[in-house]
Structure 1
């Protein structure tokens, strides 16, 4: 619509299509500058799409039903249970109530902190500071990479009072709603956490530490990123570098200027992603860690896959392997297609495609220069990455049936 575009011209179809897809999939990749191309109304539409995409269509409808009607039907609970990966059907209603409260709480606190900092150091009037604070808080918690600044967070590089709250909101949003619900009631007793919560929490912290340390080690002397900056600036940016590639998408430095090793590390972190049933993308941290346990059990010759004092069934292991292989297939195929359509380097295209699949939003700067056919590939990749590889494959298959017989077993040579 004309009112969504800055100036007198109407938005083009492809910029609107690409931006709306990127927003509802909480990615953040953009072919146009969000701060100048879109009007405040257009930016508000992007904000609304990010909120809807972050919470999920089913979760949003259920939460609204909770506050409006106060009751949930059995059919609604079953649909919500499948959408949010909740094991016990009795957990659905309290889970969604906690989801809504938690989401509003973290976004509000982050918005207040950012608004105060923006008003005190960067903007002269409160309405502008408030709009930037609310926009960045919603983008951070929903793990979307849109920004009201042309250069994202580059203007705030090294400012811990802005970068740290945004990074913290990204981290919390990427944990996943089921984990947040469990922490809400039992954060003081880690020994009673479920395997899913343990894998998500300790895996996320581990990837944060490894990512931050690796980023600092690789970029410490790079004059285009951290070289020449003070220790505090490097520390703040290092924390950002360990969190944002997991699914955040906001950046206070140019990813097109990092070393090739750092770019590859970012690609790996994006591919892993965040927690299941969260605003993050990727194959998810639980999938990645379960694959590690599968390999460890196979190397040791164990008959069962065990995590702590629990065993993991073969169906879960098969699902994890399927998700990982589908993700590899999608990223490799789309990278090949985009390279055929453009003249960009392999590492740039791989980074872009992984960012789209993992709904991260980071880019080396090639997104605005992609041709229309390459943009369509990225659009499809963002959509599949948000919906999920298993859900997308299931939608293509359309039906499932139980076999009526079991074929004779045979063991081909592996390896």
Structure 2
């Protein structure tokens, strides 16, 4: 029997600006999931989508096909104190220094929410939550469905690799990372929402990044992405809203894997950088509101230690040992101020690429990251600087990486006489 579709025809349709039919999308996603469509063919189709875009109907069908490629969790039977669990999740579209999931999930746990968090690994210049958490000795994100259910019931959260959720997306996600197609709006929207809609949450809050360090650089396209994802969520019966947040400057002062865990622990201990705390609390309030959870102010959970207690319980449940020191690159290099003045702008993309060069990210699917690789910023834009002050410290286990990393960082910062313009962290809020 002759198949209804073939990969070259599907690729040519999109390459030439055509619209893929529902059946063509279902066929290509199923074919790629099961190995009938090859990496080279899917790479070509992804590039065609990157260049030609997709209609709203195509994005919706692509998302549904990826959800249908695997399991879909249902936690509706879970109860606490005789009442259904309030299941809510958050997703960021990816940024530099974006460790927000790590303090955010414990804050929401401490306020009575339950978080089934299907998290990802590093993609391009952006870090991955799983890579960061796996820098904790013993921590595993490879959880069975029964284990996820048990953690949600017992402690109120699980952070896990998508596993059987949207396996088509897992393969496509890895391919996007190494084929220059990470910035495609349709592919971002469908990737995010296929996993999130499959994981069983009742409500979802999206942190849509915009700026130099984001996948989408301009406000118009970031608004479009946020609205597309909100519409996809609502169409699938999940209460969904989005915050548009600035990603021109890295979040916090630590960028990498273990260094971001250390900074997150500082936040949970009641300290940490102001921007990380601000965004953590803003997203927590949105998540609690979307899930209909009234009661505690999320800020109180940082002040009284209850969020830290929840973090310790979460790490222990997933095999992590916080008594072991976090890894740090065996070699370090510093960048010092050539003159006194005021710290100027810091380009999030330059920092993200420098950290990737240090070994914190991947250049091939499945490659191992260095948990100790990363960068610490010692000044934020607008801070006073004296000549000779240390501005950045870089870490890696492979010192030959310093040259390429410093080359990426060069030109991504300045020290001058005038303070740079400081952008608000939270730009807008979007609901259906």
What TM-score do you get using the length of structure 1 for normalisation?
A: 0.26
Structure with greater proportional strand content = 2
Structure with greater proportional helix content = 1
Greater RCO structure (CA 8 Å; 6+ sep): 2
What TM-score do you get using the length of structure 2 for normalisation?
A: 0.26
